[in-house]
Amino acid sequence: MTNQRLSPGDTAPAFTLPDADGKEVSLADYRGRKVIVYFYPAASTPGCTKQACDFRDNLAELNDAGIDVLGVSPDKPAKLAKFRDAEGLTFPLLSDPQRAVLTAWGAFGEKTMYGKTVTGVIRSTFLVDEQGKIEVAQYNVRATGHVAKLRRDLSV
């Protein structure tokens, strides 16, 4: 199975997913602003918590630069709400239990974990521009230090 990967210049695949409160959030809601869409394997796990808290801690600077943040995982909204509340997360966490959006963005498929090939969520981050095009596509990102690197790359 090959993963269809997105590249800069591609149109970002449209989506509408429920957030932690079950409210529908669409990528189209962010048209006219830049938005970071990041995909992570599971709420409340150590790496995903670190990454989410890094986005939380850098959100003001990203927002000041005109960049919003959306996190997407296969978790159900109730689990996302617990994660959000436990960590004080202030950006939307979206639920994709069917993994349709993860798959469309190339963020679900075969990956290597501890030397074994497994199928799962590929930790990935994208920057979508004001017109809905992919500006940055990063796959297999590290949970730790990723947001700092992203800010350096984006000069934010």
List the catalytic residues: 48
Amino acid at site 136: V
State residue 107 phi and psi, 5-degree precision: -105, 15
Q: What three-state secondary structure class fits 58?
A: helix
Terminal-residue alpha carbon distance, the chain: 37
Asked whether 136 and 126 are in contact (CB, 8 A), the reply is yes
